[in-house]
Amino acid sequence: MSLDATTRSRLVGLFVDEAQETVTSLESLAERMSGGPEPEALAQFGRAAHGLKGAASALGFEDLAGILHDLEALTLRLEGDGPGRRADGHSRLRRAVGLLAGGIAEMSASGRDGFPGPVVAALRETLGAAPAPANGPAAPHGAGVQRTEAHGGPLAGEAVVERLSVPADEVDDALRLAASLARGVAMLEERLGGDGAAAQAQGLGEVARRLEASIAALRLLPAGMAFSGLEGEAEQLASRLGRQVRLEIQGRAVRADRRTLQAARGLVRHLLRNALDHGVEPPEERLQAGKPRAGRLTLKVETAESVLRVAFEDDGRGFDVPAIRRELERRSGAPGAVAALSDAEVLQRFASEGGSTRESASQISGRGLGLSAVAAAARASGGSLEVVTRRGKGSSVSFSLPLDVYAVETLSVRCGGRLFGIPLSAVERSVCLGAAAGAVHQGPTGRTLAIGEGIVPLAGLAEVLGVAGAEERFAVVVRGAEGTVALGVEEAGAVAGVVPATVPGLAQNDALVTGLARLADGSVLQILDPRHLVAAFRADRPRRAATRPAPAAPPPAPARALEVVLAEDSPATREVLRVLLEQHGLRVRLAADGDEALARIGERVPDVLVTDINMPRLDGLSLTRRLRDEAATARLPVILLTSQDDARTRAAGAAAGADAYLVKSRFDASLLLETLGRIGLGGRR
């Protein structure tokens, strides 16, 4: 890996920070283990050493990586040792951690690019490892030098860069103040307008913005910088394993706090090593499988409000789920319980527990600790991990980490007299309800709003948040993981870039409000999490519909397959739709037009009507209006399924009382199922 001096220096700085945190953790775990057998502490110790080993190796600190490998091996041996040998092992382990801490502290204090040689020798002696051969181990990754200092000085030609250690909280405070100052000056500039003082205010504003950017740069790095050098690292590691790969990093411009990105880099390194050791096939094998010679690795980085999301994908073999299942069965001693798990659950459990389907460990990976280290780190920080695999096609491991500090562009909206910010990345559009009154319809499952691309459910933001306030002058269309919804608000105002602060004690997992920012005028902006907002909207929609006055509410249906009346005049389309729906567990009764549909519904009211619009005798819109006029069917959910894809027909559908509008050219069963979920029928199939 060829790096310029500045980049290398920055990466070494990141390594030293990470190493100091890891060593602190190792010290604490070693202390815990001194009291007696602590299997969990031992496992954590092994994972932490494993993580640092990857980081050391990536920077060419091969001696240190080898020592960490030996330290990790020592922890594994301790699991099976008897009391006498265990005491000796623990003693060596504590001495080794002390030496390691000293070596890292020396690196930190001196700013040198290399782990001190004398400390390496002392660690080897402590761990009982063989000294390095005269010709040394394999050359480190592209650096061309063994990054261990033999003489305690910096390597020739390398600059010593001074690093300052500053409490992150203080930088965050400074950043928030600078952001507040920049906003305040901007408001002042606006108010001064063409006044003579405006030029001075502009100058001040420029200083404030530069101050904000400068402090932000201390805390918020572009992901591209945090992951720089990873492509070279991937190629070097691949080459050692006889693989060829190309790593693509998406989302380089994403900015996030240094600590979280640094943690993510450490986790990605685990995943990279796993992918190269287990996933990506050798070139010949790939060619035989019809794949390109070089494996494709993709790292996707994004921030979603207060969370950093990272996905690492490869196009290799994929996880061997049957082998993992066998390993879990063997380990658990309860094959029946493992057999009952789905493949996804097996993968999740494997990721959590760690382990390997291999018989021997390599220095690259192979102990199965990497994935569990990622899962443990993500969980410990309040994040999550997800594994998806397709045998022979590749796998994807995604994890999320909460951000320490984040900047977000928000649309500010007012509701119940309070100011909320909806992240702009989740806002599809805002609509003035006064001008679009005809597009709002009160349906049996609640209100809907017809907009250009479809009909979306509508509710007041106040209702969803459970706060007082009924006035709705605007609707903001917000996209979340569970679909798109429209939220009625009093005002939809300016777009503001803010650096929110999290509130201590507010739950991270499902918080509606992820952070607060104080604006220059002193008002407080509450930043909403679109995912949880949409989830809360969906969860509460049946209750809102149920509390709406209705003429003759049908009794709650017993748990059974969802029954659909499908009205479609084309026999072929009707048959295709019937098969599709039945394949997904729905019971279908057919009608060739609106009149027949009325007859079927008259025989027995179904759970939902799916109807075409253009049909002979009685079209879908007239059918919907007729149903709405009858007490027994006024609340029957109606989904229009048509080839007409224009705004006027959509609005007509909403006005007639339809709950959803689907276009045949984009139709598939999953879309229908999603729509059923959206209108409150998702759990009944």
Partner 1 sequence: MRPLPFRIRPGGRAALEAAARALAGRDEDAGESVAGLLAVTFRLGGDRCAVEAGVVQRAVLRLGGVVPVPLAAGGERLVAFVEERPVPVVDLSRPGPRTPEDLSAAPALLLSLESGPVAVAVEGPLDLSEAPIAQAAESAREDPEVPRLVGRLADGVSLIDAEWMRRFAARTLAP
Binding site for partner 1 (CB under 8 A): 173, 176-177, 180, 418, 465-467, 501-507, 510-513, 515-516, 518, 522-524, 526, 532, 536
- Please report how close the Cβ of residue 543 comes to partner 1 at its closest, in angstroms: 12
Report the nearest approach of partner 1 to the CB of residue 458 (Å): 19
Residue carrying structure tokens 């980049």? 7
Radius of gyration of the chain (CA): 30
Which of 123/178 has CB closer to partner 1?
178
The CA distances from residue 490 to 73, 244, 574, 621, in Å, are 62, 57, 44, 32
Residue 28 CB, nearest distance to partner 1 (Å)? 18
For the CB of residue 12, give the shortest distance to partner 1 in the complex, in Å. 33
Report, in Å, the least distance between residue 465 CB and partner 1. Answer: 4
Q: Which is nearer to partner 1, 336 or 504 (CB)?
A: 504
Nearer Cβ to partner 1, position 418 or 600? 418
- Closest separation in Å from C-beta 128 to partner 1: 42
Residues 6+ apart with CB under 8 A from 637: 443, 444, 445, 607, 608, 609, 659, 660, 679, 680, 681
Question: Can you read off the two tokens belonging to residue 512?
Answer: 């509606």
For residue 671, which of 484, 445, 452 has the smallest C-alpha distance? 484
Angle at 392 between CA 390 and CA 398, to 5 degrees: 40
Cα-flanking dihedrals φ and ψ of residue 37, to 5°? -60, 130
Q: How far is the CB of 210 from partner 1 (least distance, A)?
A: 20
Q: Which is nearer to partner 1, 441 or 532 (CB)?
A: 532
- In the complex with partner 1, which residue's Cβ is closer, 510 or 575? 510
Shortest distance, position 510 Cβ to partner 1, whole Å: 4
Nearer to partner 1, 46 or 515 (CB): 515
Query: How far is it, in rounded angstroms, from Cα 297 to Cα 385?
Result: 18
Tell me how far apart the alpha carbons of residues 325 and 18 are, in angstroms, rounded to a whole number: 34
- Whether 458 and 416 have beta carbons less than 8 Å apart is answered as no
Whether the CB-CB separation of 648 and 628 falls below 8 Å is answered with: no
Residue whose CB is less far from partner 1, 362 or 523: 523
Q: Which is nearer to partner 1, 59 or 517 (CB)?
A: 517
Which DSSP string corresponds to 178-198?
HHHHHHHHHHHHHHHTTSTTH
Is the CB of 435 or the CB of 507 nearer to partner 1?
A: 507
Closer to partner 1 at the Cβ: 46 or 421? 421
CB of 538 to partner 1, least distance (A): 13
Nearer to partner 1, 194 or 522 (CB): 522
Contacts of 654 (CB under 8 A, 6+ apart): 439, 440, 441, 448, 449, 450, 455, 661
Tokens of 401: 């980490």
Q: How far is the CB of 523 from partner 1 (least distance, A)?
A: 8
Q: Is 16 exposed, middle or buried (0-12, 13-18, 19+ CB in 10 A)?
A: buried
Element (H, E) at 296: strand 295-304
Closer residue to partner 1, CB minimum distance, 490 or 619: 490
Residue whose C-alpha is closest to residue 674's, from 503, 405, 484, 515:
484
Q: In angstroms, give the least distance from the CB of 537 to partner 1.
A: 12
Q: Are 593 and 574 in contact (CB under 8 A)?
A: no
The nearest distance, CB 26 to partner 1, in angstroms, is 24
Cα separation of 148 and 128, whole Å? 19
Token pair for 669: 């069963």
Concatenated DSSP letters of 443-479? ETTEEEEEETTEEEEEEEHHHHHT-S----SEEEEEE
